[in-house]
A and B are shown apart, each in its own frame.
Chain A
């Protein structure tokens, strides 16, 4: 049993970014919900100013891993983590770390667009205002909406409700809201699952533009999206004891043309079961 778990958990990591090029790094992380180990022994680098995709079958722990990057799992009472999640060399799970500040610097966009029931303008400005932003909110709102490629579509109706926008526009509004508090890293949990194909491609194009300013980590169950839109891909699978583990990580182009692990090859070629 121990041997088979170890064999399952061998992670092939090739061409990992150099340490100085990392925005985040997970080292030997296990995540538990109560006594249940949901994620086992993950060591994963996140390259700065690149897009890293987490792929794998349902239940393999990729969203749990994503939420661990900004301590969102803290909001689940039974959740706990051991190991380290390093941000600028500091473990964000150290006792003296402010989780709220972590989430400001490492923002998140969720699967279902969730704009506040406020105006478009206030959706973007609210977070910055709460965080004590001292500059011009109008300029911040415009800059954030421009970065989210939404400004031209909403500049004449900033007073309209954020809920009046289409699904794709709402998601870009959520991205603008995240950007407005000046994060360094943006986590995206299946951001396009609820969107139509055109809106999906617009978000993917936006990600390419955003990565020059931010680091992006995206969970997607759409491996074709991971292939199209990411620079690095981490493939997770589910072990026999139903924990998730990292099978393979590497440059997306390499993983999708010549994966190192047969389990990766099987998954990305659609050979399941």
Chain B
């Protein structure tokens, strides 16, 4: 007879719920960028409304993790995993907020010109951020600290793309009265994508902690 089978089943189900939250917010970010490109205001409105479901999903994950901590006396790897899940659920929910933020800009930037060069940079930022998200979710699913560690430096490339967006914005025509407003919209979209990559590095750090007990961010500081 295998002991704690039901507890293990509950843990696996919780991990699965976190993964599905990750997939949902990743899809939301990709869709929000597509909507911005196509000026899809109806889609953007739906995405904004859908953020409530992401929040509810996060709260469900948190509630289940708290229940397992309270009732199953987890220690060692189990405890680290549950502690990490509490953080990771919050990080993923913030990624969902970034998607919502981009959708709100789509709603506000009605009729705004979308220079191809800037759209291409945004697409690149989105692609790299989502690749980081996909990989960190795989690392979380497998408890793969090595994969998680490899994700952290990839944030530099997204930061570099953000700087390119900034430089491109500075070159935009400035005589138009709405120029500053439009520049802000572009920078906000890029900022949300840059923050998405940041959140992925935070998740990676939690995955490393869950798998090994190490805290790379704190070790770097000390």
A and B co-occur in one complex: yes
22 residue pairs bridging A and B, Cβ less than 8 Å apart:
A201-B3, A202-B1, A202-B3, A205-B1, A205-B4, A205-B5, A208-B6, A224-B73, A227-B73, A228-B7, A228-B71, A228-B72, A252-B71, A253-B70, A253-B71, A256-B67, A256-B70, A256-B71, A257-B66, A257-B67, A257-B70, A257-B71
The distance from the CB of A179 to the nearest CB of chain B, in whole angstroms, is: 16
Q: Are A205 and B2 touching (Cβ within 8 A)?
A: yes
Give how many A-B residue pairs fall within 8 Å (CB-CB): 36
Question: CB within 8 Å of B: which of A216-248?
Answer: 224, 227-228
Partner of B73, one of A149, A228, A252: A228
Q: In the complex, what distance in Å separates the CA atom of A227 from the CA atom of B5?
A: 15
Q: In the complex, what distance in Å separates the CA atom of A201 from the CA atom of B72?
A: 12
Chain B 1-30 interface mask (CB, 8 Å, partner A; 1/0): 111111100000000000000000000000
Q: Are B1 and A206 touching (Cβ within 8 A)?
A: yes
A18 within 8 A of B: no
Q: In the complex, what distance in Å separates the CA atom of A79 from the CA atom of B120?
A: 84
Interface residues of A (CB under 8 A from B): 149, 198, 201-202, 204-206, 208, 224, 227-228, 252-253, 256-257
Q: Are B3 and A205 touching (Cβ within 8 A)?
A: yes
Q: Are A149 and B70 touching (Cβ within 8 A)?
A: no
Chain B 29-63 interface mask (CB, 8 Å, partner A; 1/0): 00000000000000000000000000000000000
Q: How many of B's residues come within 8 Å of A, CB to CB? A: 13
The distance from the CB of A202 to the nearest CB of chain B, in whole angstroms, is: 5
User: CB-CB < 8 A to A252: which residues of B?
Assistant: 71
Q: Are B72 and A149 touching (Cβ within 8 A)?
A: no
Closest to B4 in A: A201
Q: In the complex, what distance in Å separates the CA atom of A202 from the CA atom of B6?
A: 12
The distance from the CB of A233 to the nearest CB of chain B, in whole angstroms, is: 10
Contact status of A149 and B1, CB under 8 A, knowing A208-B6, A228-B7, A257-B66: yes
Q: In the complex, what distance in Å separates the CA atom of A223 from the CA atom of B72?
A: 11
The distance from the CB of B1 to the nearest CB of chain A, in whole angstroms, is: 5
Q: In the complex, what distance in Å separates the CA atom of A198 from the CA atom of B2?
A: 10
Q: In the complex, what distance in Å separates the CA atom of A224 from the CA atom of B69?
A: 11
Interface residues of B (CB under 8 A from A): 1-7, 66-67, 70-73
User: CB-CB < 8 A to B71: which residues of A?
Assistant: 227-228, 252-253, 256-257
Seed contacts A205-B4, A256-B67; 7 additional CB < 8 Å A-B pairs: A205-B6, A206-B1, A224-B73, A228-B7, A257-B66, A257-B70, A257-B71
User: CB-CB < 8 A to A227: which residues of B?
Assistant: 70-73
Q: Are B6 and A198 touching (Cβ within 8 A)?
A: no
The distance from the CB of B213 to the nearest CB of chain A, in whole angstroms, is: 24
Q: In the complex, what distance in Å separates the CA atom of A253 from the CA atom of B6?
A: 15
Tell which of B2, B3, B66 has the most Cβ of chain A within 10 Å.
B3
The distance from the CB of A223 to the nearest CB of chain B, in whole angstroms, is: 10
Q: Are B7 and A198 touching (Cβ within 8 A)?
A: no
User: CB-CB < 8 A to B6: which residues of A?
Assistant: 205, 208
User: CB-CB < 8 A to A206: which residues of B?
Assistant: 1
The distance from the CB of B13 to the nearest CB of chain A, in whole angstroms, is: 14
Partner of A198, one of B3, B70, B73: B3
User: CB-CB < 8 A to A228: which residues of B?
Assistant: 7, 71-73
User: CB-CB < 8 A to B72: which residues of A?
Assistant: 227-228
User: CB-CB < 8 A to B1: which residues of A?
Assistant: 149, 202, 205-206
Q: In the complex, what distance in Å separates the CA atom of A202 from the CA atom of B70?
A: 21
Closest to A207 in B: B6
The distance from the CB of A218 to the nearest CB of chain B, in whole angstroms, is: 15
Closest to B63 in A: A257
User: CB-CB < 8 A to B4: which residues of A?
Assistant: 201, 205
